[in-house]
Structure 1
Amino acid sequence: MLSHPCRLSTTKRMVALLFATLFACSSIFSVEAQFAGKLIQDPCVNKASCHDCIQTQNCAWCMEPDFIDLPRCFKNNLQNYCKEEYTWNPFTEQKFTINRELTRGGNASAAAGYGYGYGGSYEASSSYSSSSSSSSYAGAYGSAAAAGASASSGEIVQISPQRVSLKLRINQLHSLNMRYSQAIDYPVDLYYLMDLSKSMEDDKDKLSALGDKLSETMRNITSNFRLGFGSFVDKVLMPYVSTIPKKLERPCDGCEAPYGYRNHMPLSTNTSTFTSEVSRAAVSGNLDAPEGGFDAIMQAIVCRQQIGWREKARRLLVFSTDAGFHYAGDGKLGGVIAPNDGECHLSGEGLYTHSVIQDYPSISQINHKVKQNSINVIFAVTANQHSVYEKLAQHIEGSSSAVLSEDSSNVVDLVRSEYSKISSAIEMKDNATSNIKITYHSACLNGGPEIPTAKCDGLKVGDVVNFTAQILVTSCPTDPREWNQVIQIYPVGINESLVIDLEMLCSCPCERPGTTGYEAHSPKCNNHGTLMCGVCECDDMHFGHNCECSTSDVHTGSDKDLVCRADNTTQVDCNNRGTCLCGVCECEKRSNPEEIISGKFCECDNFSCERRKNVLCSGPDHGTCECSHCVCKPGWTGSACDCRESTDTCMPPNGGELCSGNGECECGVCKCKSTPEGRYSGKVCEKCPTCAGRCLELKHCVQCQMYKTGEFKDEDKCAANCSNTFVPIGEEKIVIDEEKDELLCIFFDEDDCKYTFKYSEVNGKLEVHAQQERECPPKVFMLGIVLGVIAAIVLVGLAILLLWKLLTTIHDRREFARFEKERMNAKWDTGENPIYKQATSTFKNPMYAGQ
């Protein structure tokens, strides 16, 4: 904390001395007043050290020893704030270390359009202001003499420049222009790696027959061509191959003993031997479906000397198989647990010696070695395996996959086609760490403005492509040894790169011993500390601006504690977030080291700003928290930096008013309004499902023109009111296309028929589509219905009467029949009393019945 000359350390001073001191300090108060309103908004003022200051964008440090009580870290655009000789405001510096001209690529006029000059020194350097975007260079971009030297030496150069020294500040975007051109007759190394399991026997024979044609095809592309051949089967272990002694010697008819990988023919210009080597190679066999192709790929890549890969050549590895692959972890099935070390293990005969010792490599290991050795892998596989290898190619840089016929008869066309795809495209990659962000822009060959892209297609030999690499150091690594890094920007599959020797400007020279501004045991620090960049770094026993306070002096007197309060209205020292020690606020330390309380009276922090979705200031891409307020980055606004300044997202695609005039643009999003007609919706408030729109205006003309009904059904009236407006287009069924902003209208006419039409306005022209036929309800014949109802009632009544008559007749007949029966059984007419019984009984002897 800086001491103020007008602060009083005791109340015992004379009143006259007090007035004199206050008068002398009036000029200082006027200076402070100029900056008092900026303390909260200025991200520089809270930086207590020089390295923290220069790591903040657009900030400079004042190392003047006797600086007044103002922040040493300030905006670098302030004039007369600090003397120039005491101001540390490092600029971005760029120096071209190696800049040879492209081989057969481009010309002077083309290069000049991108800021390249000729005729300068071989090593050119330039400096940039910290607020500059570094879009133009003061130095030369190469020399004709150097270009001529590289051309005459025979060395091929396809990327320019080759090495750049760059000093860059944090959060300062720097643009670096580079060029690429594929050289004419660029060397090509093609290594054919083939699966020689039994199922590939016919493929081997076809490849042997097509060897000369393959060589001839590639020599038509480049005269500097070399060809090699290798094969693989699988690990000689169970369960990959049969370990029965007889099977180990001859796993199948006409087969040789199995092996992991064998280099039959190193890369050679004598391509005529390719056919004989392929023909002599015998097939073998294994048990499981996947093969040990990853072992073979790894050895073919890392054994550069044995394979014969050249430094300056396009390296192609054609991998041919009809089966899947084993990868890291599968070796445990055979008892192999040692991970693959990514090293070369070939014997003098070209056999892979560690096949049964090391596990298969992983996909990431293959990808790492492919990038490290700049090799393009072409997976030539059969149709049933293509989907698997197509996904694999997505995880290996610079690789591709293609369908190989069942007998490999299309191998020549496949290699030629894939090489054409590889050589006609260029993609820039880099090995930057997480602290460095590199984005690429290029117009490719379109000749228009640059767009964000790292890849260009459709290139031919000699075409020059210009790329702009935008480099941004987002943060300083915690380890100072990582402040100097070597970054490579390289085209995928090309063994050339632009090397950037990057020095991050994360610290100040005055913070290092032996430099100006660094003084150990300085008298200005009361011999209790080190003066660094104008600020005292006190020892463990002292503190204060000039190390004037001892750790044993903890002042608690009310008069002295007043200096730790922002004004006389508060009774709390250091905003209750720190301790007042020796007239200085010592702010609290939070458990999270990234959360810092700062400020003269501990009034600031970097963690209590407004949040959006629980993210402080909507994230580092939107803004930073400075003194409890969000400081938004360009393009963002709002209390939480969650609103875009641009209103482009609120504009209708075809132009017009913001939000179609039906809403307000807030944070780049349209907030649609409600009207008495209805509520608007849609991305730009272009829709209103409940609004009538122009439906009422168009309905009468649609009725008269399509259906000859409505108010204008008279032809003369229809022609007078509608002929010049629009002519509806008939459709069988009306379907809305939302992309065309069409609106649907539905009405019922005087015949109670439903008719539907839609309309849209394209380029000011009204277009109406109407349903060809109305949907009318079926006609109802009331007289028939009434007569039918009456007839039905009569018939039902007659039926009921007849039924009643039938039932009564049946009942009567039954009663009469019963009466007759009873009457016939009656004996009242015999003349005898039915209850009288005679006293004598008469019996007849059946024996004499006939006499």
Structure 2
Amino acid sequence: MDWFLFLLLLLMGRNELSQQEEVCSKSVINSCGDCIQSGKYCVWCQQLNFTKAGEQDAVRCDTQTNLIRRGCKREEIISPKNHLTIVQGDALSTSFNQQEPVQLSPQKISLRLRSGGSTTFSVSFKRAVGYPVDLYYLMDLSYSMKDDLEHVKELGQALLAALNKITEYAQIGFGAFVDKTVLPYTNTNKEKLLKPCDENDQQCQAAFGYKHVLSMTPSVKEFKSKVTEQFISGNLDSPEGSLDAMMQAAVCGNKIGWRNSSTRLIVLTTDAGFHMAGDGRLAGILEPNDEKCYMENNLYTNSIKMDYPSVGQLAMQLEKNNIQPIFAVTQNVKTVYKQLSKMIPKSEVGVLTSDSKNVVQLIESAYNRLSSKVTLTHDNLPDNVRVVYTPKCDHAGSPGDNEGVCNNVRVGQEISFDVTVTATSCMEDTSFIIRPLGIKDTLTVTISTDCECHCEDPQSRSHPHCNGKGQVSCGICTCSEGSIGQFCECSIGNKDEHALRASCQRENGTDCEGRGDCVCGRCNCHTTESGSSYHGDFCQCDDEHCEKFLNKLCGGNGKCNCGKCECHGGYEGSACQCRVSEEGCRTLNNTVCYGRGTCKCNRCECIEGYQNPRCQTCLGCADPCQTKLNCIECLGFDSGPFKKNCSLACSSIYHEMVDQSTIQNKKCHQKGSDSCWIKFNLDQLVGEDNYKAEILNQRDCPEPPNVTAIIGGSLASVALIGILLLMLIKLLIYMKDLKEFRKFENERKKCKWAEADNPLFQNATTTVANPTFTGE
């Protein structure tokens, strides 16, 4: 019983979910084409007179269920259908018989979808029994693979025998690689380039990048002969040029010998990692790989001119040429190639023994894994197209947007995929390819969108529905020149149609708010469902959407007018929910809210700042002792900043006695503008800013200074200070002179004068007597 209830609830939930999904999200709808582009569930009613008077034509666009509910006949509903046409659908081939087999059906499909619409079709696949296989054996011939090469020389017969179990149309080819013959990958010494192996090893060929040895052949003898001619080579670093070799093997299809109809395999055998895009810069090789074939005389000529390819480039070319790689590698690099395999679709990794003896079993197992996994995917999908694959097989993967997968598929077993294609928006005709990975067969899907309605309209250009001034298009009128209106009822003459419609539109741009008809630039309002009329310049008003109280419009005590209640006498409030009363707003001194608010619904609504319940106190208001000080000065002492316009600036203060009740008394002691202290009382009266002032006594002002005493005292002080400074300077000069004199005396006492005669002084040697002198 519990399980039954659970299933019932689950089914009900799914039903509700499906109903919720059918939603038409409309935006601006002016025509049937706009409607069907709005979403896959949007349909259009072309029925004449479907809209009510003044309704916009946008109501014609909705889900089919809603339109039928509104009265639209089912045959009058326009909903473009999705069309699928199989252009080519050849039957699947049973086996390969020297003709091109068909493994994928259909081969060409044409889709025409409505915008947002989707369609699902089935794609079948069956691998043809005996389908040809081309296997290209690509071998690492660096010195560490010496033992493996000796075994591969005897491998041809066993390898073809394994392939012949799958098909009698098997071919095998051979290629070899080492690395780019430049430093730091290979020793560029001339002797080392010619013989890069150990000196004791006589059979060693010159270093090379990639060499194509044998094109596809079914001959075991030819394979053995060509491979026997190969010898080991060598290089310096551990990673090899594997990606270079695989890229050339993929893009040089004519030289390799890939057949058009075959399963193409590349078996890469190596014991080392690989270089990839960017590594070429180590050797100064900056030109990126261009994914083109450069083979001359079976050698890759651009090996030292072009960088290694990236993994993405290689994966793209392998997929494009339907080549499936098998990485036969040694245990030490298994992890590296496992990661590489994740980035290359349809690839496998197997572990070689040290001498490659198990390579045949490895290839056979890898091929079986590749062939048993069928992956359906697409190429070059347009931006506004989405594809979902749902596999229909015993071992199916989950549905996916990028691919569908079936596992454990046997050769000759037919499987199918449901492919759902969705066009998310309108677009021009385009196409894309669906293909199984690694298989040549493709399905070409051509897709176009249907974004316009195809209505069967009357051909008359003067239809009566349009007052003879227009024709009907999908149920709505297309007016002739000179007429406008929903039914072409207005002649505009030389007036601009857009200007007339604009005069009927408010901010949201809808004609008459969707509640009336715009007739020659003026709204004619409709009636509501209850029979009353819309009104207003834009039909924006109605008398049915006012606030309710006790589930009654305007509480039953008023009339609704344009969304607002007009209360009867004795009632008030937004919904006329209150009787007019001031009982709850009365104060002790018999005022209403102390004159600082209004009484609504028997409750005070206070002026900003004042607090309920009766607006007595004010939070955040300034101290009145400070704010009223200037008025006290001018009213009581005829001084201060307000002296010139005291009566005007201080009208809220009553200096004389007034007959009003005091709400609050405040004692103030403030310092005025002339530094006089004033004591006064402020009695707060009823009202927002009403006070009665009482000055208690005269101002307490400081005594004025004695100017004469100050000036006389100041002059005497200045003179005294000047005399003292002069005496101090004189004393300092005297002390300095005394110090210098004493220093001079001390130095003079220390001097000792020489008493010897001056050797330069000579007494006179000639005495001359005056002959006239008598001695008297």
What does 1:41-80 correspond to in 2, within 5 Å?
42-44=24-26, 46-55=28-37, 56-61=39-44, 69=55, 70=57, 71-76=59-64, 78-79=67-68
Answering whether residue 280 of structure 2 is matched by residue 331 of structure 1, we say yes
- Out of 417, 428, 431, which is 2:376 matched to? 428
- Out of 467, 473, 488, which is 2:417 matched to? 467
Answering whether residue 271 of structure 2 is matched by residue 322 of structure 1, we say yes
Whether contact under 8 Å (2:24, 2:41) holds in the other structure is no
- Out of 200, 208, 216, which is 1:267 matched to? 216
- Out of 387, 395, 399, which is 2:347 matched to? 399
Structure 1 SS opposite 2:318: helix
Q: RMSD in angstroms over aligned alpha carbons?
A: 4.6
Question: CA deviation digits over 1:347-368, x for unaligned, max 9?
Answer: 1x11112212221111111111
- CA drift of 1:567 comes to 5.9
Equivalent residue for 1:204?
149
Question: CA deviation digits over 1:19-49, x for unaligned, max 9?
Answer: xxxxxxxxxxxxxxxxxxx9x9753585334
- Out of 97, 107, 128, which is 1:162 matched to? 107
Distance 2:332 2:61 in 1: 66
Distance 1:266 1:152 in 2: 23
- CA drift of 1:379 comes to 0.8
Equivalent residue for 2:317?
369
- Out of 307, 328, 331, which is 1:383 matched to? 331
Structure 2 SS opposite 1:565: helix
- Out of 355, 363, 367, which is 2:303 matched to? 355
- CA drift of 1:544 comes to 8.3
Whether contact under 8 Å (1:181, 1:464) holds in the other structure is yes
Equivalent residue for 2:88?
98
Question: CA deviation digits over 1:734-778, x for unaligned, max 9?
Answer: xxxxxxxxxxxxxxxxxxxxxxxxxxxxxxxxxxxxxxxxxxxxx
Distance 2:503 2:412 in 1: 81
Distance 1:553 1:493 in 2: 64
Equivalent residue for 2:360?
412
- CA drift of 1:235 comes to 1.6
TM-score, reference length from structure 2 = 0.55
Whether contact under 8 Å (1:189, 1:316) holds in the other structure is yes
- Stretches of structure 1 that go unaligned for 5 or more consecutive residues are 1-37, 106-150, 569-573, 575-579, 585-599, 603-851
Whether contact under 8 Å (1:383, 1:403) holds in the other structure is yes
User: Against the structure 1 CA distance between its residues 154 and 555, is the aligned structure 2 distance closer, same or farther, given a 3 Å change threshold?
Assistant: closer
**Percent of pairs identical after alignment?**
36
Structure 2 SS opposite 1:283: coil
Distance 2:239 2:329 in 1: 13
User: Against the structure 1 CA distance between its residues 557 and 305, is the aligned structure 2 distance closer, same or farther, given a 3 Å change threshold?
Assistant: closer
Distance 2:432 2:193 in 1: 50
Distance 2:246 2:539 in 1: 65
Moved more, 96-105 or 206-215: 96-105
Equivalent residue for 1:255?
204
Whether contact under 8 Å (1:542, 1:550) holds in the other structure is no
Answering whether residue 299 of structure 2 is matched by residue 344 of structure 1, we say no
Distance 1:322 1:560 in 2: 78
Equivalent residue for 1:227?
172
- Out of 291, 296, 315, which is 2:240 matched to? 291
- Out of 487, 491, 496, which is 1:550 matched to? 496
User: Against the structure 1 CA distance between its residues 60 and 192, is the aligned structure 2 distance closer, same or farther, given a 3 Å change threshold?
Assistant: same
Distance 1:506 1:336 in 2: 53
Structure 2 SS opposite 1:394: helix
User: Against the structure 1 CA distance between its residues 324 and 536, is the aligned structure 2 distance closer, same or farther, given a 3 Å change threshold?
Assistant: farther
Distance 2:82 2:522 in 1: 40
Q: Aligned partner of 1:430: which letter?
A: H
- CA drift of 1:438 comes to 2.4
Answering whether residue 478 of structure 2 is matched by residue 490 of structure 1, we say no
Q: Aligned partner of 1:267: which letter?
A: M
User: Against the structure 1 CA distance between its residues 553 and 220, is the aligned structure 2 distance closer, same or farther, given a 3 Å change threshold?
Assistant: closer
Distance 1:531 1:186 in 2: 62
Q: Aligned partner of 1:43: which letter?
A: S
Question: CA deviation digits over 1:166-220, x for unaligned, max 9?
Answer: 2223443422112221211110000011111111121111111122111111112
Structure 1 SS opposite 2:153: helix
Aligned residues: 485
Equivalent residue for 1:457?
407
Distance 1:317 1:277 in 2: 18
- Out of 500, 509, 513, which is 2:445 matched to? 500
Whether contact under 8 Å (1:45, 1:72) holds in the other structure is no
- Stretches of structure 2 that go unaligned for 5 or more consecutive residues are 1-19, 524-537, 541-776
User: Against the structure 1 CA distance between its residues 552 and 508, is the aligned structure 2 distance closer, same or farther, given a 3 Å change threshold?
Assistant: closer
What does 1:341-740 correspond to in 2, within 5 Å?
341-347=290-296, 349-431=297-379, 432-445=381-394, 452=399, 454-473=404-423, 475-476=424-425, 480-481=427-428, 484-508=429-453, 550=496, 553=499, 564-565=512-513
User: Against the structure 1 CA distance between its residues 444 and 565, is the aligned structure 2 distance closer, same or farther, given a 3 Å change threshold?
Assistant: closer
Equivalent residue for 1:302?
251
Structure 1 SS opposite 2:268: strand
Distance 1:517 1:266 in 2: 71
Equivalent residue for 2:127?
182
Distance 2:334 2:174 in 1: 22
Structure 1 SS opposite 2:393: coil
Q: Which has the larger radius of gyration?
A: 2
Whether contact under 8 Å (2:136, 2:266) holds in the other structure is yes
